[in-house]
Amino acid sequence: MDSTTAMYVAQGIHGLAYGMILFLVASGLTMIFGMMGILNLAHAAFFMLSAYFSYQALAMTGNYWIALLAAPLATAVVGVLVERFLLRKVHAFGHVGELLLTVGVSLVILDAVKAFWGTESLYVDLPESLKGLIHVGGLEYPVYRLFVIGLALVVLFIMAFLLYRTRLGMVVRAAVSDADMVNALGINVPLVFMLVFGIGTWMAGVAGVAIAPILTVFPGLADQMGMDAFLVVVTGGFGSLSGAFIISLVFGELSSYGVQFISALAPVLMFVLMAIILVIKPTGLFGERE
Amino acid sequence: MRTGRKILVVFAIFSLLLMLNLPKALAANAKYDAAGLPDMSDFDPSNPIIPTGDTIKIAIVASFSGPAAIVGEIYFISVQWAAHDINKRGGILVDGKRKKIQVIRADTQSKPAVAKKVCERMILKEHVNVLWGTNGSHIMKVINQVAKKYGVIAQCAAALSDELYDARNFTRYSFMTSFQTNQIGRAAAYYYGQIRKKEKKFYILCQDYLFGHSMAEGFKEGLKLYYPQAQLVGEDYHKLFLTDFAPYLTKIKASGAEVVYTGDWIPDAANLLVQARQAGIKLPFANIFLDEPNFLHKVGVEGTKGLLNISQFGAPNPLFKNDLQIKFYKAWNDLWKTKWKAPFNTYLFKHPLGNIGSYMFQTYWLLSVIERAGSLDPEKIIKQWEGDSYEYISGKVMTMRPVDHKAIQDLHAFEYVPPAEQKQSFNIPPYSYFTGCSNTGPISTIPAEKIMPKLDPKLKR
């Protein structure tokens, strides 16, 4: 292909890659809200925490793949502890208590990373096997970004399988629909919710590890990504995984082609789309609950 | 000898010196006394020795918490070093009394409202003599406003916006000893147009706010002035803390640019370069913030080769021209190697050069001005500083323009080369700044008269 076509194709793949990263962050957030009714404002902080965990794991083992496995798990453990010992206690007092608590948790995580790792920017190396470029028909594209796209698709597949093809998923969906009834059937609903919160933070953790080699790991990382992820959830509809997926891809492409064609307006395109969708459908594209 | 003849002889000698391009060492009113450097082995930024009693108080107004907290620590170690040095020499004689220097951290949390409160507390409760700042021109603006209100001296050592000293914002209590946005842009253009004369196609990518636009304007002005044959093949402004630079990089690659000029600061600058190298884009980036060594190590030797850094702490090669410079350098570097703890033990603090060197010697200049004013009276300090000139240990001379309190100075363009080629600059063992990344090799001087600070014509003094 000629250089102009290669440029447009590259922009398309950039949009896809960024959209997938957005989805990884946003999916955990929307799942926790959809399943538990909790707007977890600490979600981006978990994402940042995982990036730090991956830095640490890499520093200790020198192996990116171990970091990819360990950091999201460690993040999920922190998430489970937060749910078990903090969120569960305020759940009965409604959304305001949960909101305040999750804001508090995000501040604690922020201070904790500063205490452990300082405020300097940290850098995570790409694994050797994912360095370099792929050359296809005149197009050069970084291997790592293609890996991120694949990773997000795998996570999406695992989540869809878990939720819609397993007994566990059925219980989770039932607990969301009518927690009292599921409880009466002898299923430990608080345990189910803890599991959901753990999976949600694990997904944020996967995103944190995926982004770490592309971005500087620093205490502002949560803010850097958190707002975009929140926009995805609002626009896609609170609680909708498919909404988060579609909107993440749309936002990714808007961002990419926006820079290409109307660079000055690129940063606001996401907001414009969100406004249009919310005017037409206030619950978001696929949202059912406000 | 008759008076007329005496005058003639003096005039002749003066003219001869001018023709011989009067060495700048002689041109400065004062210079750093490197021979008098005391034993600095007890200097520890984590446990600074704080003088008590009647002291000269300098408040470092900066971010000491939040994501930018490390910036405050960079300022602190630089200013505290200068203070420690002067204190060990016995302090400064002011208003008939010898006083030591006390450095106080004043945390702005990077918020203007907090900055205002902390500046007022520093003046009203701590009775500081100088407000020293800072990261972010919006915060420096607040510092200057408070300095004006209370009649306290402020030193702008790190904010870069020209607007801080225009007709609307100027205050005679504040002095800008740092370089400035427009000047930096013109300096980069001068380097490419008048010194390097190689690349012709440039792409501007800056952050989308006043600072980024000012940096870009300076570069464009410079290209018109010093490199009219140059072609601007693209110009973009991105949002702050951008996550994904890939779309911009694809545009840059397609534009045929030979150099990317960016005003971005870290983390944006770091993310831009890292993502560019990951995408196989090997273009040089001209910048002032792509000198953070921890980040340079991440990108590696090849990825950092060819970067251009416009520096306000430069001097022609080699770095060490005499034993006193080596002694000063080793006093710092030995402590870094053996004594300092986190956060002061990373590559960032290895050398008393670059930004650290600049902040340190801007502070030495301030202290020299106070010493020569012989007083802490702001009016006497203003009188002394206006038109003053001071020579750093490197030989660089700073001159304070009286009309708008902006420093006139040569700037230097550092071209980054692999470790093996750094000997031309770092001319003592181990003959390189760092082994894990490219760093300063060839250094070019951009003469002060070519990059005079912008003067607002509406400023009437």
The DSSP code sequence of B288-312 is SSTT-HHHHHHHHHHHHTT-EEEES
Q: Alpha-carbon torsion B73, B79, B85, B89, what sign?
A: negative
Q: Whole-angstrom Cα distance, residue B287 to residue B267?
A: 13
- B285 contact A CB<8A: no
Which residues have a Cβ under 8 Å from the Cβ of A253 and sit 6 or more positions away? A12, A15, A16, A19
DSSP state of A122: B
Domain ranges, ordered by start, for chain B = 32-179+355-408, 182-311+412-450
Question: How many domains does one find in chain A?
Answer: 1
Q: Whole-angstrom Cα distance, residue A27 to residue A249?
A: 12
Report long-range pairs for B407-410 (Cβ below 8 Å, ≥24 apart): B407/B175, B407/B176, B407/B177, B407/B178, B407/B179, B407/B453, B408/B448, B408/B452, B408/B453, B409/B179, B409/B312, B409/B448, B410/B314, B410/B445, B410/B446, B410/B447, B410/B448
Measured between beta carbons, the chain A residues lying within 8 angstroms of B208 are 267
pLDDT tens by residue, B54-94: 999 999 999 998 778 889 999 999 999 999 999 999 999 99
Q: How many CB atoms lie within 10 A of CB B421?
A: 18
Look up residue B22 and give its two tokens: 């009067």
Contact B280 A219 (CB under 8 A): no
Quick one: CA torsion of B299, B305, B311, B313, rounded to 10 degrees? Answer: 90
Cβ proximity of A164 and A140 under 8 Å: no
Q: Examine residue B318 and say whether the peptide bond preceding it is cis (omega within 30 degrees of 0).
A: yes
Q: Between B68, B251, B278, which is nearest A144 by CB?
A: B278
- B270 contact A CB<8A: yes
Residue A118's closest chain B neighbor by CA?
B343
Q: Between A14, A122, A125, which is nearest B246 by CB?
A: A14
- Correct CATH for B32-179+355-408 of 3.40.50.2300, 1.20.1070.10, 3.30.230.30, 3.20.20.140: 3.40.50.2300
Contact A118 B343 (CB under 8 A): yes
Residue A161 lies in a domain: yes
Which residues have a Cβ under 8 Å from the Cβ of A216 and sit 6 or more positions away? A121, A122, A123, B266, B267, B270, B271, B274, B295
State the amino acid at position B288 in one-letter form: I
Beta strands in A143-217 (DSSP E): none
Residue A224 lies in a domain: yes
Contact A259 B70 (CB under 8 A): no
- Measured between its terminal Cα atoms, the distance across chain B in Å is 43
| Helix, strand, or coil (residue B454) | coil
Phi, psi of B95, deg, nearest 5: 50, 40
DSSP state of B231: E
Look up residue B306 and give its two tokens: 């060819």
Cβ proximity of B128 and B57 under 8 Å: yes
Look up residue A23 and give its two tokens: 């989805």
Look up residue A19 and give its two tokens: 């959209």
Q: Whole-angstrom Cα distance, residue B396 to residue B310?
A: 15
Look up residue B28 and give its two tokens: 């400065």
pLDDT tens by residue, A117-127: 988 888 898 88
Look up residue B136 and give its two tokens: 């972010």
> What Å distances lie between residue A1 and A142, B366, B451, CA to CA?
18, 61, 46
Q: How many CB atoms lie within 10 A of CB A132?
A: 14
Q: Whole-angstrom Cα distance, residue B155 to residue B130?
A: 7
Q: Examine residue A219 and say whether the peptide bond preceding it is cis (omega within 30 degrees of 0).
A: no
B182-311+412-450 shares the fold of B32-179+355-408? yes
Look up residue B187 and give its two tokens: 């300096």
- B347 contact A CB<8A: no
State the amino acid at position B246 in one-letter form: A
Tokens 């500083």 correspond to what residue?
B385
Residue A289 lies in a domain: no
Q: Between B236, B241, B247, which is nearest A220 by CB?
A: B241
Contact A220 B238 (CB under 8 A): no
Q: How far, in whole angstroms, is CA B352 from its chain's centroid?
A: 12
Contact A7 B248 (CB under 8 A): no
Quote the Cα angle for A113-B238-A226, to 5°: 35
Contact B271 A216 (CB under 8 A): yes
**Exposure pattern of B373-402 as b/e (b: 16+ CB <10 Å)?**
bebbebebbbebbbebbbbbbbbbbbbbbe
Please give, rounded to a whole number of angstroms, the shortest distance from the CA of A237 to a CA of chain B. 23
DSSP state of A94: -
Q: Examine residue B343 and say whether the peptide bond preceding it is cis (omega within 30 degrees of 0).
A: yes
Sheet holding B411-417, edge to edge: B231-238, B201-207, B259-261, B285-287, B308-311, B411-417, B439-446
Q: Whole-angstrom Cα distance, residue B215 to residue B205?
A: 10
Per-residue pLDDT of chain B (461 residues; tens, 9 = 90+): 565 666 566 556 555 544 444 444 346 889 999 999 999 999 999 999 999 999 999 999 999 987 788 899 999 999 999 999 999 999 999 999 999 999 999 999 989 999 999 999 999 999 999 999 998 899 999 999 999 999 999 999 999 999 999 999 999 999 999 999 999 999 999 999 999 999 999 999 999 988 999 999 999 999 999 999 999 999 999 998 898 999 999 999 999 999 999 999 888 999 999 999 999 999 999 999 999 998 899 899 999 999 999 999 999 999 999 999 999 999 999 999 999 998 899 999 999 999 999 999 999 999 999 999 999 999 999 999 999 999 999 999 999 999 999 999 999 999 999 999 999 999 999 999 999 999 999 999 999 999 999 999 999 87
DSSP state of A83: I
Q: Between B67, B250, B298, which is nearest A119 by CB?
A: B67
Which residues have a Cβ under 8 Å from the Cβ of A72 and sit 6 or more positions away? A50, A202, A203, A205, A206, A208, A209
Q: Whole-angstrom Cα distance, residue B376 to residue B129?
A: 7
Residue A286 lies in a domain: no
Q: How many CB atoms lie within 10 A of CB A49?
A: 27
Q: Whole-angstrom Cα distance, residue B90 to residue A117?
A: 38
Residue A80 lies in a domain: yes
CATH number of the domain encompassing residue A43: 1.10.3470
- B195 contact A CB<8A: no
Look up residue B46 and give its two tokens: 């984590």
- B295 contact A CB<8A: yes
Please give, rounded to a whole number of angstroms, the shortest distance from the CA of B440 to a CA of chain A. 22
Residue B208's closest chain A neighbor by CA?
A264
Residue among B71, B243, B348 with most chain A CBs within 10 A, to mutate: B243
Report the run of H or E that residue B4 belongs to, with start and end: helix B3-19
pLDDT above 90: percentage of residues in chain B: 88
Contact B246 A17 (CB under 8 A): yes
**So what's the pLDDT on residue A103?**
94
Measured between beta carbons, the chain A residues lying within 8 angstroms of B67 are 119, 218-220
Measured between beta carbons, the chain B residues lying within 8 angstroms of A4 are 254
Q: Between B246, B280, B343, which is nearest A120 by CB?
A: B343
State the amino acid at position A11 in one-letter form: Q
Q: Whole-angstrom Cα distance, residue B367 to residue B361?
A: 10
Look up residue B413 and give its two tokens: 């363009």
Which residues have a Cβ under 8 Å from the Cβ of B266 and sit 6 or more positions away? A121, A216, B289, B292, B295
Q: Which domain holds residue A88?
A: 3-280
Contact B70 A118 (CB under 8 A): yes
- Correct CATH for B182-311+412-450 of 3.40.50.300, 3.10.450.50, 3.40.50.2300, 3.30.70.120: 3.40.50.2300
Residue A21 lies in a domain: yes
| Helix, strand, or coil (residue B236) | strand
Please give, rounded to a whole number of angstroms, the shortest distance from the CA of A236 to a CA of chain B. 21
Phi, psi of A289, deg, nearest 5: -120, 145
Radius of gyration of chain B (CA): 22
Measured between beta carbons, the chain B residues lying within 8 angstroms of A260 are 247, 250-251
Q: Whole-angstrom Cα distance, residue A149 to residue A65?
A: 16
Q: How far, in whole angstroms, is CA B197 from its chain's centroid?
A: 26
Per-residue pLDDT of chain A (290 residues; tens, 9 = 90+): 788 898 999 999 999 999 999 999 998 888 888 777 888 899 999 999 999 999 999 999 999 999 999 999 999 999 999 999 999 888 878 888 888 999 999 999 999 998 899 888 888 988 899 999 999 888 889 999 999 999 999 998 998 898 889 998 888 888 777 878 888 989 988 898 899 899 999 999 999 999 999 988 988 888 888 889 999 999 999 888 889 999 999 999 999 999 999 999 998 999 999 999 999 999 898 876 55
Please give, rounded to a whole number of angstroms, the shortest distance from the CA of B102 to a CA of chain A. 25
- B256 contact A CB<8A: no
Which residues have a Cβ under 8 Å from the Cβ of B220 and sit 6 or more positions away? B185, B189, B204, B232
pLDDT tens by residue, B343-364: 899 999 999 999 999 999 999 9
Residue A225 lies in a domain: yes
Residue B65's closest chain A neighbor by CA?
A119
Residue A30 lies in a domain: yes
Please give, rounded to a whole number of angstroms, the shortest distance from the CA of B343 to a CA of chain A. 7
Contact B267 A216 (CB under 8 A): yes
**Exposure pattern of A170-188 as b/e (b: 16+ CB <10 Å)?**
ebbebbbeebeebeeeeee
